[in-house]
Chains A and B, each alone.
Chain A
Amino acid sequence: MNTKDIIQSATKSISSNAKRTSLTILGIVIGVASVVLMISTGKSFQGYILDQINSFGSNTMDVIPKGFEKFGGNLESLTIEDYERIKRLSSVERVVPVIIVNRSVHYGREDMTPMVFGATSDIFGNYGMKLASGRLLDESDERGAQRSVVAAYQTALDLFGNRDPIGQRIVIGEESFTVVGTLKSAGSLLLSDLDKPVFIPFATARSMTGQRHVSYITLKTVGDSDIAKRDITELLRTRHRIDNSQDDPDLDDFIARSAEQVTSIISSVTLGLTVFLALIAGISLLVGGIGIMNIMLVTVSERTQEIGLRKALGARPRDILIQFLTEALALTCGGALVGLVLGAGTGWILSRIADRILGEFHFILSPFALVAAICMAVGTGLLFGVYPASKAARLDPIEALRYE
């Protein structure tokens, strides 16, 4: 039997029982569809997050006090002096100190609590935020600790509605500020809304709060971010008198974290999650495979006489094995193709919905998902086809011919 004969015979036998075939492959369809869906959705979500981080520019680095993300840490460990010294390092530029001012914002009868960022003017460039109207904060605002404020897109809309925000006066805490600019919509980053905060000059925030420390520092690295990280770490350890010859990050009272690091952490987390979900989906493929084995066993017993006949006509055990293995493979591959389309289609629809909600969500159909699903389907077909097929191949021709 040549390959063409084998395939013809397999497709003929499968298509002769269309209803049973379609029910049989349903398990494989669902299994492959869920594997493809899980992997492509995981990839799409990862892509979405990485896109957002990269929109900051890849050479962004944040220096944050340990207490920012670790309970019991010191939120006040980074001083303004630290900022001044970091600024002098050659491996960094556009160093921005940030003080988050914990005050509410009033305009007329409107009362809101957006994040109030006291920061120098480089923050807009560092965060990739674009001006919509008016002007950004500048050096003169900073020098004079002006009561100027730039509002992000959503907050400007909420406060002023259809009115022109430029020149409007709002109250932050107890003090009156003039709106000098508004920002374009920037969407969200890691599920925090970039369209909510308002920005005031760093000097103003400092005088309002009277604090000697900064909430965090954000900067752009020059060249290799690892060198910048090393410089900052050395500088701050010296300044904070931290003896850390072991280079144990747990001893530090600060964290210098580049966007690349965040990217790789998120990548590995989402990869782990994707693999985990795909494995669970793979279990359904396994169940589908058992369905294939079941139906192949039924087929073999239904066609025992045919197997006996084929053997009497000169089929070798291996011809019978290949014939039934091919049928099992054809079933799983057929199911896999339908499952691919179904899984990719569902993933695409979900990504459209996510795009509506989150914005800038792109559907990524990873070739890995396709290859993995096909391999798993072929593997399932072989794994669960071998037993029925070898059972068929081992049948005694005389007994098989007499089988009723």
Chain B
Amino acid sequence: MPSAHTKSPRAASRTPLIEVTKLSKVYVNDAVETPVLFDIDLRVQSGEFMAIMGPSGSGKSTLMHILGFLDRPTHGKYRFLGKDTAGRTDDELAIIRATKVSFVFQAFHLLPRATVLENVMLPLLYHPTIPSAERQHRAQAAINAVGLFERTNFLTSQLSGGQKQRTAIARSLVTEPQVIFADEPTGNLDSVSGIQVMGALEKLHASGHTIILVTHERSTAEFADRIVHILDGRIASDSRSHSRRSSSGLTSLK
């Protein structure tokens, strides 16, 4: 197993966080079959910062939905933390989403009439083990981690785009998931806010979080250590990013 793109030398011997073999997805709509993914083989280790890159319609979002337990593969095997995920019920998938994975969306998807704190606390409502007394404390810590301490009690409608996305990142952190999926996180942002958001993700990665970024922009993908290209539902290339970007240099240029 190639371990060039993993950080730890012991990575090869560890159980991969995500291990996908011969995975394919076919959508059936009115008896018309639309194949979206073909024979995907992919391994992701804990602690990786990986980008799934591809043009729209390439199947990258579908792959992310399957990896994030929002969707199920049609064929193939998906092992998460070494366990096969086939045959899980909707409730079991919901519990995995509540505890093991989290999402940052292009459209932010924040509750509009709620504060930053309330939004960040939202995933904890569905967490089976974190007691309600701890919610506020954990949410505040996540908000501080993305630098929004002063906006804690702002309504999300009062925030800028970048602040909204950082709120969403705080929300994805609060359950301390195994992996954070970021789906075009800078897609709705101007370049400065986009860089700030990528900076926040970089920081998470540096502190040990596994991040899977989905984007069609090379410039965004280049923040990651590893770039997986998806083209027409197949993995076209899987390489370590040689010219890795960093938000620190870029923001100082502005």
- Residues 278-322 of chain A: 1 if any B CB is under 8 Å from the residue's CB, otherwise 0? 000000000000000000000000000110111111111111000
Nearest A-chain residue to B113, judged by Cβ: A16
A308 and B65 CA atoms in complex are apart in Å by 13
**B46 located at the interface, meaning its Cβ lies under 8 Å from any Cβ of chain A in the complex:** no
Q: How many residues of B contact A (CB 8 A)?
A: 28
Chain A residues within an 8 Å CB radius of B21: none
**B127 located at the interface, meaning its Cβ lies under 8 Å from any Cβ of chain A in the complex:** yes
Within 8 A of B (CB), among A311-340: 311-319
Take A310-B126, A398-B65, A398-B71 as given contacts and tell me if A317 and B109 are in contact as well, using a CB distance cutoff of 8 Å.
Answer: no
Our pick among A16, A308, A314 for the contact of B95 (Cβ within 8 Å) is: A314
Check if B97 sits within 8 Å of A314, measured CB to CB.
yes
Chain A residues within an 8 Å CB radius of B99: 314
Check if A1 sits within 8 Å of B125, measured CB to CB.
yes
Take A314-B97, A314-B98, A397-B70 as given contacts and tell me if A309 and B126 are in contact as well, using a CB distance cutoff of 8 Å.
Answer: no
Chain B residues within an 8 Å CB radius of A341: none
Check if B70 sits within 8 Å of A313, measured CB to CB.
no
Chain A residues within an 8 Å CB radius of B102: 313
A313 and B111 CA atoms in complex are apart in Å by 13
**B194 located at the interface, meaning its Cβ lies under 8 Å from any Cβ of chain A in the complex:** no
**A19 located at the interface, meaning its Cβ lies under 8 Å from any Cβ of chain B in the complex:** no
Give the Cβ gap from A300 to chain B, nearest Cβ, in Å: 16
Chain B residues within an 8 Å CB radius of A9: 125
**B42 located at the interface, meaning its Cβ lies under 8 Å from any Cβ of chain A in the complex:** no
Q: How many residues of A contact B (CB 8 A)?
A: 24
Check if A310 sits within 8 Å of B122, measured CB to CB.
yes
A308 and B71 CA atoms in complex are apart in Å by 13
**B132 located at the interface, meaning its Cβ lies under 8 Å from any Cβ of chain A in the complex:** yes
Chain B residues within an 8 Å CB radius of A398: 65, 70-71
Chain A residues within an 8 Å CB radius of B54: none
Check if A313 sits within 8 Å of B122, measured CB to CB.
yes
Give the Cβ gap from A274 to chain B, nearest Cβ, in Å: 45
Enumerate 17 A-B pairs (CB-CB under 8 Å) in ascending A order: A2-B132, A12-B113, A308-B109, A310-B122, A311-B97, A314-B95, A314-B123, A314-B126, A314-B127, A314-B175, A315-B94, A315-B126, A316-B95, A318-B91, A398-B70, A398-B71, A401-B107
Q: A-B pairs with the 6 shortest C-beta distances?
A: A314-B98, A314-B126, A316-B94, A313-B123, A314-B97, A309-B109
